[in-house]
Chain A
Amino acid sequence: QVQLVQSGAEVKKPGASVKVSCKASGYTFTGYYMHWVRQAPGQGLEWMGWINPNSGGTNYAQKFQGWVTMTRDTSISTAYMELSRLRSDDTAVYYCARAYCGGDCYSGGYFDYWGQGTLVTVSS
């Protein structure tokens, strides 16, 4: 069965960086785009971007450009999301989500499997 297992909770100081991992199993890792979505406490879902695990190509939401880096290691079927220059309002649960897209994966598809989430707390 498809599983996305994320790394554990992190506590970071303002200005630091955090790298969250998402290990995929139960399917061909390179066959599906991986997206990252975050959710601040008590708030809604915010899309951050995606990575194409096959090519390594990425597409970041404008808000996060220059600030987020998404990478992958196909040898261990793991995607990573690194956010730099953390601020207190980056405190959130970060989710990876697999996208099923029949054709147009740049803009199409839907999130059929989600990781369990990783809480990142930014506090001095």
Chain B
Amino acid sequence: QSVLTQPPSVSAAPGQKVTISCSGSSSNIGNNYVSWYQQLPGTAPKLLIYDNNKRPSGIPDRFSGSKSGTSATLGITGLQTGDEADYYCGTWDSSLSARVFGGGTKLTVL
């Protein structure tokens, strides 16, 4: 059971928009920055969003992040088949003194 809660799967058609939620508590998301990672099949995770809503260079603006209270959201617009992957949120948990991740969300582009 992951400390951060994500939906197991989401799906949408090419060109559409999808959001992935990440729910936590005051000991993690509520008081720490959130980052998001994309893991394409058979590859290592890749940084998509850091500090809640910032994109590293090279990440298209189709990807966005937001945080409100103890929840964070990853948004992807203009879906492409190449976006099919697992997506993970992550942050620090002050109570556990540990980095924590969500359980991951599998995105299917229909």
Contact = CB atoms under 8 A, between A and B. Distances in A.
B24 to A, nearest CB: 15
Contacts of A37: 45, 99
Contacts, number: 58
B96 interface: yes
Interface stretch (A13-21, A24-32, A74-82, A106-114): A106-114
A27 B75 CA distance: 31
Given A107-B32, A111-B35, A112-B47, A44 B99 contact: no
B63 interface: no
Interface in A82-111: 95, 97, 100, 107-108, 110-111
A117 B44 contact: yes
Interface residues of A, number: 22
Q: How large is the interface on B (under 10, 10 to 19, 20 to 34, 35 or more residues)?
A: 20 to 34
A114 B35 CA distance: 14
Contact of A114 (B2, B45, B92, B102): B45
Contacts of B44: 95, 114-117
A73 interface: no
A61 to B, nearest CB: 5
